[in-house]
Amino acid sequence: MNALTLVHEVVRTRVKAGDICIDATAGRGYDAAFLCELAGNGCVTAFDIQQEAIDSTRELLLSRNLEARLILDSHANMDAYFEEGSVSCILFNLGYLPRGDHKVYTHFESTREAIQKGLKLLKKGGLMCVSVYYGGDSGYEERDALLPYLRTLDDQKYQVVLASFYNWSNDPPIPIFIEKL
Ligand SMILES: C[S@@+](CC[C@H](N)C(=O)[O-])C[C@H]1O[C@@H](n2cnc3c(N)ncnc32)[C@H](O)[C@@H]1O
């Protein structure tokens, strides 16, 4: 089991054909493709701030005969594209583009804004998954700001579950599940 397969196992139990889903960090498109397979005739939208990521995601989807709306924009603007309470699942995979420029990565301020807006877009019972990757030269500041922020979410409205790779000695990823109650 790794962070990706854990998140996918949980998401698989929640997303069904016809659902509206968001991949907040398209990257190479693997999460977007996964969501497209689950949502079937629903609608998947993927955001990224890098053209390389959008192109890469488009290519992967094409090769698998899948379709998604791809948007070159920050996930912090996701509220411009959806109605409140309409979305079933939102995935964030924080960090930098694999095999891409390590200097372009997610930052706490825009991630927090996107999480706040995304939680409004989720319908009741909807799920947001945030996989926090850090290590090497980046990601520690985002992790250190994000975890205390998530503690402040109203427990009457949201349930926040963190998974821990408890015995890893080095920088384990942190899969986080936020359920809208
Ligand atoms: C770890 S990768 C995502 C991996 C992806 N989920 C996949 O399946 O391949 C993180 C991505 O977040 C993107 N990113 C960074 N800041 C962003 C922002 N504010 N809005 C949207 N995407 C952003 C990066 O360009 C990078 O492609």
CA of 156 to the centre of ligand 1 (A): 30
**Residue 170 located in a structural domain:** no
Any atom of ligand 1 within 6 Å of the Cβ of 75: yes
Instruction: Report the distance separating Cα 32 and Cα 29, nearest Å.
Output: 5
**Residue 177 located in a structural domain:** no
Residue among 119, 34, 123 at smallest CA distance from 87: 123
What number does the ligand 1 atom closest to the CA of 30 have?
A: 8
pTM (global) more than 0.95: yes
Question: What does the pLDDT look like over 122-142, one tens digit per residue?
Answer: 999 999 999 999 988 789 999
CATH number (domain holding residue 125): 3.40.50.150
Any atom of ligand 1 within 6 Å of the Cβ of 77: no
**Residue 21 located in a structural domain:** yes
Please state the domain count of the chain.
1
Which are the contacts of 83, defined by CB distance < 8 A and separation ≥ 6? 121
Any atom of ligand 1 within 6 Å of the Cβ of 131: no
Classify the phi-psi angles of 26: left when phi > 0, otherwise alpha if psi is within -120 to 50, otherwise beta: alpha
**Residue 173 located in a structural domain:** no
pLDDT per 10-residue tile (average), the chain, 181 residues: 97 98 98 98 97 98 98 98 98 95 94 98 98 90 97 98 96 97 98
**Residue 130 located in a structural domain:** yes
CA of 49 to the centre of ligand 1 (A): 7
pLDDT at 138: 83
CA of 95 to the centre of ligand 1 (A): 7
Which are the contacts of 13, defined by CB distance < 8 A and separation ≥ 6? none
**Residue 171 located in a structural domain:** no
**Residue 12 located in a structural domain:** yes
Query: Range of 137's domain?
Result: 3-165
3-state DSSP of 155-176: CCCEEEEECCCCCCCCCCCEEE
- β pairing state of 122-132 and 174-180: antiparallel
